Structure 1
Amino acid sequence: MSHSKARTLRETLREASMRIPETEARHLLRWALDVSDTWMFLHADAPMPDAGAQKFASAIERRERGEPVAYIEGRRGFWTLDLEVSPATLIPRVETERLVEAALVVLPENSALEVLDLGTGSGAIALALATERPMAHVIGVDLSEAALAVAERNRQHCGADNAEFIQSAWYAQLGARKFHCIVSNPPYIPEGDAHLAQGDLRFEPRSALSSGDDGLDDIRLIVTGATSRLHPGSALLIEHGFDQATSVRTLLETAGFERVETLQDLESRDRVSLGFQRGA
Structure 2
Amino acid sequence: MKTRNELLSQSVERLRMAKLDTPELDARVLVKYALKLSDAELIGGSDLNVSPDCASGLENMICRRVRGEPVARIIGRKEFWGLSFELGLDTLVPRPETETLIEAALAAFGRGTPRKVLDLGTGTGCLLLGLLSEYPEASGLGVDIAPKAVEVAAANGRRLGFDGRAEFRVSDWDEGVEGQFDLILSNPPYILREDIEKLAPEVRLHDPIKALDGGPDGLSAYRALAAAAARRLAPQGLLIAELGAGQEADVAGVMAKAGLKVDGPARPDLAGIPRALVVRR
Q: How many angstroms apart in 2 are the aligned matches of 1:199 and 1:65?
A: 9
1:125-204 paired onto structure 2 within 5 Å: 125-160=127-162, 161-175=164-178, 177-193=179-195, 194-196=197-199, 198-204=201-207
Q: 9, 12, 30: which is aligned to 1:14? A: 9
SS at match of 1:63: helix
Gaps of 5+ in 2: 16-22
Give yes or no for the alignment of 1:76 onto 2:78: yes
Matched with 2:59 is 57
Q: What is the identity, as a one-letter code, of the residue corresponding to 1:191?
A: R
Q: 37, 40, 53: which is aligned to 2:39? A: 37
Q: Report the CA distance shift for 1:30/1:71 in structure 2 as closer, same or farther (over 3 A).
A: same
- Rg comparison, structure with higher value: 1
Shift of 1:238: 0.6
8 Å contact 2:68–2:201 — kept in the other structure?
no
Matched with 2:18 is none
RMSD: 1.8
Number of matched pairs: 271
Shift of 1:110: 7.1
Q: What is the identity, as a one-letter code, of the residue corresponding to 1:245?
A: E
Q: Report the CA distance shift for 1:157/1:115 in structure 2 as closer, same or farther (over 3 A).
A: same
Q: What is the identity, as a one-letter code, of the residue corresponding to 1:30?
A: K
Q: How many angstroms apart in 1 are the aligned matches of 2:114 and 2:105?
A: 15
Give yes or no for the alignment of 1:271 onto 2:270: no
Give yes or no for the alignment of 1:211 onto 2:241: no
The percent identity for this pair of structures is: 38
Question: Comparing 137-146 with 228-237, which one deviates more in the overlay?
Answer: 228-237
Taking structure 2 as the reference length, what is the TM-score of the superposition?
A: 0.90
Q: How many angstroms apart in 2 are the aligned matches of 1:242 and 1:235?
A: 22
Q: How many angstroms apart in 1 are the aligned matches of 2:114 and 2:236?
A: 16
Question: Comparing 20-29 with 7-16, which one deviates more in the overlay?
Answer: 7-16
Q: Report the CA distance shift for 1:110/1:102 in structure 2 as closer, same or farther (over 3 A).
A: closer
Matched with 1:243 is 246
Question: Comparing 88-97 with 256-265, which one deviates more in the overlay?
Answer: 256-265
Q: How many angstroms apart in 2 are the aligned matches of 1:99 and 1:92?
A: 12
Q: What is the identity, as a one-letter code, of the residue corresponding to 2:11?
A: A
SS at match of 1:71: helix
Q: Deviations over 1:6-47 (max 9, x none)?
A: 222222222222321232112100111121223222322332
Q: Deviations over 1:220-273 (max 9, x none)?
A: 110122112111211111101011011111222232223533111111111111
Taking structure 1 as the reference length, what is the TM-score of the superposition?
A: 0.91
